[in-house]
Structure 1
Amino acid sequence: MAGQAQEFISNDSLGASTPKITLIAIFDFTQIFGFVLLGIVLLTAALAPSIRRSPAWFNFLSTWVLSCISYLITLGQQTGEEPRFSICLLQAMLVYAAPAVTVTAGLCFSIEMWRIVTRTGGSSGGRVLSFRDYGAIIIAPYVVHLLICAEVLILGLKNRTWVKRDKTFMFCHLDSTTPAYITGAVVICVILIAMGFVASIAIYIRRHMAASRLFHGQQVANIQKMVLRFGIFTILPMFGLALSITQVSSRRTGLADGILTIIIGTLPAGAALIFGTQSDIMRAWKFWRKYSTPKPLLDSIKSVPESV
C-alpha cells in the first residue's frame, strides 16, 4: 500500500529533491525481507503434508508477493538518471494496483471463511470446498488489478511527463492525484466490506458454533484465532491510510515522507509474520521434534487451518 498511501500526500517538492540513500536502502530491505518471508511461508504451507490451507489463503499471501515485486522493479535505478519510461510506467501501474489487489484478495479470503463457517452443518453436507468453488474468489483480485493497471497505463501514455520517480526516489508513480484517489477509494470500500464479513463471522461463531455440541472447544478456538489474525491485518491498512491523509494538511520534510513510506512498506512482512507464525507452520520447521497428530476438525471446516 506504500504507493497509494504516499499519493494521498500533497505534491510539494522535497526540499532540494535529493534522494535519501539510507531511507531508500531501508525501504528496499523491507520489500526484500517481506518477499523472502512470504516465500518461506507459502512454500512451507505448500510442501508440508501436515499443513492444510485453502486456495484463497494461498492467493491472499501471493498478492503480497506481487506487491513486493512491484516495488522492486526499479531496484538499483532509484538514484541518478530516471529509469526508462517503459520501466517507470510499468512500475507505476503495478504500484497503484498493488494495494487494490491485496485488499481484494483479503476480502475474498474473508468471504471464504464466512462460507466455510456458515455452511458447516448446513445443506452442503460437510463437503469440502474444491478449487472449482474458488473460481470467482481467486480471479476477482486480479481483475481489479488489471483494471487499475489499464487506468494508469492510459493516463501515463496520454501524459508522459507525469511518469517519474516518486519524491522519495523509492519507486515510480504518476505526478497526479487522480490514480491515487481512485486506488484509495477502492481500498477503503473493499476494507470496509471485508471488516463487515469478519464481524459477521465473529458473531456467527459466538452465537452458533461456540454453543453447538458438534464442535470441540479447541476447534472453535482455532477458527476464532484465524478470524482474529485476519481481522487485525484488515485493520492495519486503515491506520496507514489515516496516517497518509493526516499528512496532507501538514508540511512534511523528505525525511517524513520517506519514513511514512517505509512504515507502510512493512505490511508484506507483517502479513508473513501474522499468518506464518501459526502453530502448525512452526511445528513443520521443528522437524527434529515429534508431535502427536492433532485431532482433525470436521470435514466441512477442514479448509480452515487446524492449528493456529
Structure 2
Amino acid sequence: MNVVGLLMTTLVLLPALLSPMVSRTSTWMALMASSIFYSSSYLLLLPIGQRSVAQPGYGICLFQASLVYGAPVLVSFAGWAYVLQLYFGLAMNISTNKMYLLRINIMLLVTPVVMACIMFIVSLAVGAQSPNTVTIDSTRRYCHITSHVPRTTAAILIGLGTAGMMVFEVLLSMHLSRNWVTLKKVTDGEISIFAWYKFGRIIIFTIFPFGAFALNIGGLFSSGTTNDKWNILLPIIPLGAAIIFGSRTDIIYAWKMSYKAEATWNIYEDPKPVCCSCPHCGEEFDTIPGSA
C-alpha cells in the first residue's frame, strides 16, 4: 500500500510540474511532495536490503525511525499551509500585493519543513540517548523508537497542524457563505462554484491528517509494539491525497495526452483546456471543452 501510495502521488504531482495544461499553487505541490516523502520514509529499508536481516544497522534504523515520526508532521502542516493559502487568497484578497503574497508563500512553504525537522531532531536525540529503544517494528516493515517521547511530540505537532486546518476551514466556509451572492455576481458563478468544489476536497482531506493524529494518540497508550492491523492504516495519507487531489479533470487529461502518438501537443488537432485564473487566490483552474 505504501508503494501504491508513492506511485499514485508521484503520478499526481508530475503533470503539475511538467504539463503546461496543469497549474497548481506552490502549497498544493508541497502537499503532494510531502505525501511522497511520507510513503518513502516507510520504504527506506526495502531498497537497501535491510528488511531481510534480523536487526537493521543502528544508524540506518535510527535515521528511518526519525523520518517516520517526522513525515506525518510534514503532511499535516503542508495541509495547513494549503488551506491557509486558500484563505489568504479568497478571504483576505491580498493577491494584488505581490510582495506580501510572496512573503506569505515563503512562510507557508518553510513552516512545514521546519516543524518536520524539529520532529526529526527530537527523534534523533531520543534514539541517540537510548539506543536500545531503536528497533525494527514487530511486523518488520520499518524501524521505530519504543520511547513515548517521539510519539508524544509527533501527536502534539500533528494535532496543531490538523487543528489549524480545521480552524481555517471553518473561517473559509463562513466567508464563502457570507459572500456567495457577491462572488456569483462578480464572476458569473464560476469562481463561487470553483471555490466550493476545491474547498470540499480540502475538507475531505482533513480526515487523513486527523487519522494520523489518532494513530499517534493511540500509540501513546500502546506498549510500543505494532501489528499488521495497525500498519495497514498508515498508507491512508498518501492514498487519500492521491485520490482526492488527483481526480481533477486536467490531470487525467494531461496523462491521456501523454500517451498519444504525437511527441508534442498540437493545438490544431487536440482540444486544449480552457484556462481560467482566479482573481482572488491567483490559482489557475482548467476545464476541458465538452466536459463537465
8 Å contact from structure 2 (residues 6, 36) kept in 1: yes
Which of 23, 41, 62 aligns to 1:89? It is: 62
Who is 1:281 aligned against? Answer: 251
Which of 169, 192, 197 aligns to 1:225? It is: 197
Specify the SS of the correspondent of 1:300. Answer: coil
Identity %: 25
Cα offset, 1:124, TM superposition: 4.6
8 Å contact from structure 1 (residues 127, 299) kept in 2: no
Cα offset, 1:294, TM superposition: 2.7
For the structure 1 residues 207 and 166, does the alpha-carbon distance in structure 2 shift closer, same or farther, using more than 3 Å as the test?
A: same
Is residue 301 of structure 1 aligned with residue 285 of structure 2?
Answer: no
TM-score normalized by the length of structure 2: 0.84
Whole-Å separation in 2 of the counterparts to 1:298 and 1:242: 35
Which of 26, 29, 39 aligns to 1:58? It is: 29
Specify the SS of the correspondent of 1:296. Answer: strand
Who is 1:27 aligned against? Answer: none
Aligned residues: 274
8 Å contact from structure 2 (residues 208, 236) kept in 1: no
Is residue 115 of structure 1 aligned with residue 115 of structure 2?
Answer: no
Whole-Å separation in 1 of the counterparts to 2:76 and 2:248: 21
Whole-Å separation in 1 of the counterparts to 2:100 and 2:31: 17
8 Å contact from structure 2 (residues 152, 216) kept in 1: no
Is residue 101 of structure 1 aligned with residue 101 of structure 2?
Answer: no
For the structure 1 residues 222 and 291, does the alpha-carbon distance in structure 2 shift closer, same or farther, using more than 3 Å as the test?
A: farther
Cα offset, 1:68, TM superposition: 1.3
8 Å contact from structure 1 (residues 88, 165) kept in 2: yes
Who is 1:20 aligned against? Answer: none
Cα offset, 1:250, TM superposition: 9.1
Please, which moves more after superposition, 298-307 or 208-217? 298-307
8 Å contact from structure 1 (residues 56, 105) kept in 2: yes
Specify the SS of the correspondent of 2:186. Answer: coil
Whole-Å separation in 1 of the counterparts to 2:270 and 2:279: 25
For the structure 1 residues 175 and 249, does the alpha-carbon distance in structure 2 shift closer, same or farther, using more than 3 Å as the test?
A: closer
Whole-Å separation in 2 of the counterparts to 1:250 and 1:81: 23
Cα offset, 1:52, TM superposition: 1.2
Cα offset, 1:129, TM superposition: 8.0
5+ residue gaps, structure 2: 261-268
TM-score normalized by the length of structure 1: 0.80
Is residue 151 of structure 1 aligned with residue 131 of structure 2?
Answer: no
User: Larger relative contact order (C-alpha < 8 A, sep ≥ 6)?
Assistant: 1
Q: Letter of the aligned partner of 1:199 in structure 2?
A: V
Q: Letter of the aligned partner of 1:116 in structure 2?
A: G
For the structure 1 residues 247 and 267, does the alpha-carbon distance in structure 2 shift closer, same or farther, using more than 3 Å as the test?
A: same
Is residue 33 of structure 1 aligned with residue 13 of structure 2?
Answer: no
Is residue 271 of structure 1 aligned with residue 251 of structure 2?
Answer: no
* CA distances 1:268-292 after superposition (whole Å, capped 9, x unpaired): 1221111111111122223269446
Whole-Å separation in 2 of the counterparts to 1:203 and 1:125: 23
Please, which moves more after superposition, 275-284 or 98-107? 275-284
Cα offset, 1:220, TM superposition: 1.4
Residues 1-308 of structure 1: matches in 2 within 5 Å?
A: 30-75=1-46, 76-120=49-93, 124-125=95-96, 132-212=103-183, 213-242=185-214, 245=217, 257-287=227-257, 290-291=270-271, 293-294=273-274, 296-303=276-283, 305-306=285-286
* CA distances 1:43-65 after superposition (whole Å, capped 9, x unpaired): 11111111111111111111111
8 Å contact from structure 2 (residues 64, 144) kept in 1: yes
Whole-Å separation in 1 of the counterparts to 2:103 and 2:42: 32
Cα offset, 1:182, TM superposition: 1.1
Q: Letter of the aligned partner of 1:261 in structure 2?
A: N
5+ residue gaps, structure 1: 1-29
Please, which moves more after superposition, 67-76 or 125-134? 125-134
Alpha carbon RMSD of aligned pairs, Å?
Answer: 2.7
Cα offset, 1:31, TM superposition: 1.4
For the structure 1 residues 299 and 129, does the alpha-carbon distance in structure 2 shift closer, same or farther, using more than 3 Å as the test?
A: farther
* CA distances 1:193-248 after superposition (whole Å, capped 9, x unpaired): 11111121122112114433212223211221111111111123324544675687
